[in-house]
DNA sequence: TTGAAAGCGCTAACAC
DNA sequence: GTGTTAGCGCTTTCAA
């Protein structure tokens, strides 16, 4: 690979001049510029990003730290981050932590040593303190890490209220909530939203912990329905656990939505693939990722942004698990409310 | 952040000595070593990865180039790559190309300029030539890029034969194949495997192009079954398109598996979430990713590896879409054959 | 056993 | 307008 020196020699100028035309900075005569451009083209020269990094202490890379890309909520988020990053000329380093402090810490080290320009965090295994100490531009995505860290989340609580209300509106009189892991922000908020509604409406309810895991949700639902056969509406904390519940209901011979209605949360593609289609609270996943990336890049490039807390709207998507869908008038069989 | 100079000063030695203890290379007296270690600890010093890169022309990063992480086949693959990379001290740069040559090219540039040590490629939008020119350690994953590029794929052809045979074994007499995009290696091979069986067995069949897209598969299946109501077995080119087919069948009032049996390909988690569970040909996705990463790292570290073509075994997973599953004797309702 | 110094490729004062 | 040169932080000859 040719270096800036080669280009300078080829063009008959100094490296400084080459650098100037490369960065469009400082005075360069038309002729010099032409000579340099020609040399660059002739040698097929590209500036060495590492050398630039060393000088500028920036790398054009951002870290994306999330629990596990295999969890279907994250691919779309990751994709959004990457799209925006690419558009702004950044590159994404991809870090799965499984919510393990150790891995997270290891990655933070590695990322800092590589001069990443900032980090998007969808995990929260550590104390707020640890993130502040990073001393890097940060954005919290789908998690709340602390007061002064820019944050992108969706309306988890309101979504849960919508979900519970939707079940009631459709005639359910005995609800269950398969809640996500305790201590994980969105799961807790969904739980609270659900509680708000059942308490206000004085509806009998049961809460079961199902994590965000399909198999666990299935087993939990089997037990739940066997011991509480009168349950006629299930609000699952995620679309994955909703799928688990549906499996359990199928095994028990319960018809969905006739005997039991099911609603999920997230709006991942899975929901539309299930038969019947899964009614769910849709988060604007792509938008969340894209916004997080934009906020991070603004921070990196020192364009101050006004708001630091961004809560994006959720939307009830009605499909077959809560309502008989008679005809196929919209291609994916879903409706927005 | 402290630099090696700070450490040297603190320890009362030269930077060369610090470097020696850092890299455990060359002679260092016990005392010097002790002083340096103490200084490192005291200053909480970590070597600057960028400066090292500049000197060594390596970065400890590998590029992972794939079409779209939103496609559910890729998250697990990506996860595997990342796990192995992390274990060997590498970091993964994450690149979605949508199979667009332009994006691919842009990423190649960026990756080279950053001194990435190698690339794992799950796309193939360009001529073989382009990949050779990269002049970087390369591994092709789920694609075949050329003779002398180490490759990890699964038994696509054999899997397709298994799938078609399974349908016939279960009494199907009129098959359809929803094939994946033409020109995409695995899709073509699955098509060929299917053809092999239907020709050999002289079974009536129909081929329809459904891409790897659920909605398209659904529409295609609607038309397909309406004009060919005698079809009683569908081999979808992927689990996603199988889900689309199941939707279409539900709309048409066809019972699965009684009226029509369905089998997919890939073995992504979706299959076990559908009701009934989706019979499929399972690829060892995680293993494929992990092997690809190991092969790449071996190449990078100049440990020659013997075989360059690796075809991993597929496995028929029987679930509810081809066989009435009466009881729930295995927790996910699946069986391996 | 250790240190001085050159150099990895690039940028930006500073001088001319 | 342009070139010389001193770094950015690290590694590694080469001398001592």
The string of pLDDT tens digits covering residues B223-255 is 999 999 999 999 999 999 999 999 999 999 999
Return the sign of the alpha-carbon dihedral for residues B249, A316, A98, A118: positive
Chain B partners of A109 at a C-beta cutoff of 8 Å?
A: 46
Chain D: positions less than 7 Å from a protein CB are: 1-5, 7-13
CB contact under 8 A, A215 and B331: yes
Residue B295 confidence (pLDDT): 96
Question: What angle (nearest 5°) sits at the alpha carbon of residue A212, between those of residues A209 and A215?
Answer: 85
Confidence of residue B155 (pLDDT cuts 50, 70, 90): very high
pLDDT along chain A (337 residues), means of 10: 95 96 93 95 97 97 97 97 97 96 95 97 87 93 92 98 98 97 94 98 97 94 97 97 95 95 97 92 98 97 86 97 62 52
- Tell whether B55 is covered by a domain: no
- Tell whether A102 is covered by a domain: yes
Dist. CA B337–CA B335, nearest whole Å: 6
Q: Answer for A26: CB within 7 Å of strand D.
A: yes
- Tell whether A31 is covered by a domain: yes
Tokens 């990196």, residue located: A300
B76 inside 8 A of chain A by CB: yes
Tokens 């000088």, residue located: A55
Dist. CA B261–CA A32, nearest whole Å: 71
Q: Answer for B32: CB within 7 Å of strand C.
A: yes
- Tell whether A55 is covered by a domain: no
Dist. CA A27–CA A93, nearest whole Å: 36
Dist. CA B322–CA B318, nearest whole Å: 7
Q: Which domain holds residue B70?
A: 61-153+286-311
Which residue in chain B is spatially nearest to A277 when comparing CA positions? B247
Same domain, B297 and B190: no
Same domain, A87 and A165: no
Q: What residues pair up with B164 in beta bridges, in sequence order?
A: none
Which nucleotide comes closest to B17 if you measure CA to C1'?
C2
Same domain, B267 and B146: no
Which residues lie closer than 8 Å to B96 by C-beta, 6 or more apart?
A: A79, A82, A83, B66, B67, B68, B69, B103
Taking the CA of residue A71 and the nearest CA in chain B, the distance in Å comes to 8
CB contact under 8 A, B93 and A95: no
Q: What residues pair up with A152 in beta bridges, in sequence order?
A: A141, A310
Which CATH number characterizes residue B71's domain? 3.40.50.2300
Confidence of residue B328 (pLDDT cuts 50, 70, 90): very low
**Cβ-contact B152, B110 below 8 angstroms:** no
CB contact under 8 A, B50 and A48: no
Tens-digit pLDDT profile for residues B58-99: 999 999 999 999 999 999 999 999 999 999 999 999 999 999
Q: By percentage, how much of chain B surpasses pLDDT 90?
A: 88
Dist. CA A107–CA A109, nearest whole Å: 5
Residue A329 confidence (pLDDT): 39
- Stretch B203-207: mean pLDDT: 97
Structure tokens at B194: 């299917």
Taking the CA of residue B199 and the nearest CA in chain A, the distance in Å comes to 32
CB contact under 8 A, A82 and B69: yes
Same domain, B114 and B20: no
Chain C: positions less than 7 Å from a protein CB are: 1-5, 7-13
Q: How many domains does chain A contain in total?
A: 3
A216 inside 8 A of chain B by CB: no
Structure tokens at B254: 């066809």
In b/e form, how buried is each residue of A174-187, taking b as 16+ CB within 10 angstroms?
A: bbbbbbbeeebbbb
Average of per-residue pLDDT values in chain B:
93
Residues 38-77 of chain A within 7 A of strand D, judged by CB, are 51, 54-55, 57
Which residue in chain A is spatially nearest to B78 when comparing CA positions? A69
CB contact under 8 A, A240 and B273: yes
Q: How far is the CA of B57 from the C1' of C7 (A)?
A: 13
- Tell whether A53 is covered by a domain: no
**Cβ-contact A234, A252 below 8 angstroms:** no
CB contact under 8 A, A79 and B70: yes
Cβ neighbours of A280 (radius 10 Å): 32
CA A16, A91, B286, B235: dihedral to nearest 10 degrees?
Answer: -120
Tens-digit pLDDT profile for residues A117-148: 999 999 988 888 889 889 999 999 999 998 88
Same domain, A227 and A278: yes
Chain B partners of A50 at a C-beta cutoff of 8 Å?
A: 50, 53-54, 59, 113-115
Q: How far is the CA of B51 from the C1' of D5 (A)?
A: 20
Partner residue facing B68 (CB), from A68, A70, A79? A79
B311 inside 8 A of chain A by CB: no
Dist. CA B21–CA A238, nearest whole Å: 51
Dist. CA A118–CA A138, nearest whole Å: 6
CB contact under 8 A, B91 and A93: yes
Same domain, B184 and B212: yes
Partner residue facing B113 (CB), from A46, A92, A247? A46
Question: What angle (nearest 5°) sits at the alpha carbon of residue B39, between those of residues B33 and B43?
Answer: 150
Q: Answer for A229: CB within 7 Å of strand D.
A: no
Tens-digit pLDDT profile for residues A205-227: 999 999 999 999 999 999 999 99
Same domain, B188 and B326: yes
Question: 255-274 in B: which are within 8 Å (CB) of A?
Answer: 269-270, 272-274
Same domain, A128 and A235: no
Which residue in chain B is spatially nearest to A75 when comparing CA positions? B70
Chain A partners of B328 at a C-beta cutoff of 8 Å?
A: 251
A38 inside 8 A of chain B by CB: no
Which residues lie closer than 8 Å to B265 by C-beta, 6 or more apart?
A: B156, B159, B160, B163, B190, B235, B236, B237, B238, B239, B242, B280, B281, B283
Chain A partners of B97 at a C-beta cutoff of 8 Å?
A: none
Same domain, A131 and A188: no
Same domain, A115 and A222: no
Confidence of residue B219 (pLDDT cuts 50, 70, 90): very high
Q: Answer for A16: CB within 7 Å of strand D.
A: yes
Q: Answer for A58: CB within 7 Å of strand C.
A: no
- Tell whether A26 is covered by a domain: yes
**Cβ-contact B181, B209 below 8 angstroms:** yes
Phi, psi of B151 (to 5 degrees): -135, 140
- Regarding predicted confidence, which is higher, B153 or B26? B153
Same domain, B199 and B124: no
Dist. CA A225–CA A216, nearest whole Å: 14
Residue A148 confidence (pLDDT): 87
Q: Evaluate if pTM is beyond 0.85.
A: yes
Q: How far is the CA of A72 from the C1' of D10 (A)?
A: 42
- Tell whether A329 is covered by a domain: yes
Q: How big is chain A, counted in residues?
A: 337
Structure tokens at B6: 């700070």
Interface test with A, best of B275, B285, B325 (most A CBs within 10 A): B275
List the single protein residue with the shortest CA to C1' distance from C7. B55
Give the CB-side neighbour count of residue B57, counting CA atoms within 13 A.
4
Dist. CA A249–CA A260, nearest whole Å: 8
Q: Answer for B22: CB within 7 Å of strand C.
A: no
- Tell whether B52 is covered by a domain: no
Q: Answer for A219: CB within 7 Å of strand C.
A: no
Same domain, A261 and A160: yes
Taking the CA of residue B302 and the nearest CA in chain A, the distance in Å comes to 21
Dist. CA A51–CA A57, nearest whole Å: 10
CB contact under 8 A, A94 and B64: yes
- Stretch B150-168: mean pLDDT: 98
Residue B305 confidence (pLDDT): 73
């Amino acid at each position: 690979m040719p270096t800036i020196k080669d280009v300078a020699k080829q063009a008959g100028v100094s490296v400084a001049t080459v650098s100037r035309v490369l960065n469009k900075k400082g005075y360069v005569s038309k002729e010099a510029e032409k000579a340099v451009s020609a040399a660059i083209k002739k040698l097929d020269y590209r500036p060495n990003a590492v050398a630039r990094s060393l000088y500028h202490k920036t790398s054009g890379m951002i870290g994306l730290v999330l629990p596990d890309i295999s969890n279907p909520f994250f691919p779309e988020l990751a994709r959004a981050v990457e799209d925006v990053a690419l558009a702004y000329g950044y590159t994404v380093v991809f870090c799965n932590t499984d919510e393990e402090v150790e891995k997270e810490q290891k990655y933070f080290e590695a990322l800092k040593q590589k001069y990443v320009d900032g980090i998007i965090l969808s995990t929260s295994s550590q104390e707020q303190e640890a993130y502040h100490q990073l001393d890097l531009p940060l954005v919290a995505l789908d998690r709340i890490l602390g007061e002064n860290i820019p944050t992108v989340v969706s309306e988890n609580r309101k979504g849960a209220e919508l979900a519970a209300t939707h079940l009631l509106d459709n005639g359910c009189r005995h609800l269950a909530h398969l809640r996500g892991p305790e201590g994980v922000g969105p799961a807790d908020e969904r739980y609270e939203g659900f509680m708000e509604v059942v308490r206000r409406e004085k509806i009998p309810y049961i809460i079961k912990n199902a994590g965000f895991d399909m198999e666990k949700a299935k087993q939990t639902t089997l037990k739940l329905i066997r011991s509480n056969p009168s349950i006629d509406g299930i609000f699952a904390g995620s679309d994955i656990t909703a799928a688990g519940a549906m499996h359990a209901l199928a095994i028990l011979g319960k018809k969905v939505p006739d005997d039991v209605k099911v609603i999920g949360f997230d709006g991942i593609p899975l929901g539309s693939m299930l038969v019947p289609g899964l009614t769910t609270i849709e988060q604007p996943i792509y938008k969340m990722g894209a916004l997080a990336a934009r906020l991070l890049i603004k921070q990196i490039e020192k364009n101050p942004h006004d708001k630091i807390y961004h809560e994006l709207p959720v939307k009830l998507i009605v499909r077959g698990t809560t309502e008989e869908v008679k005809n196929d008038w919209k291609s994916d069989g879903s409706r927005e409310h």
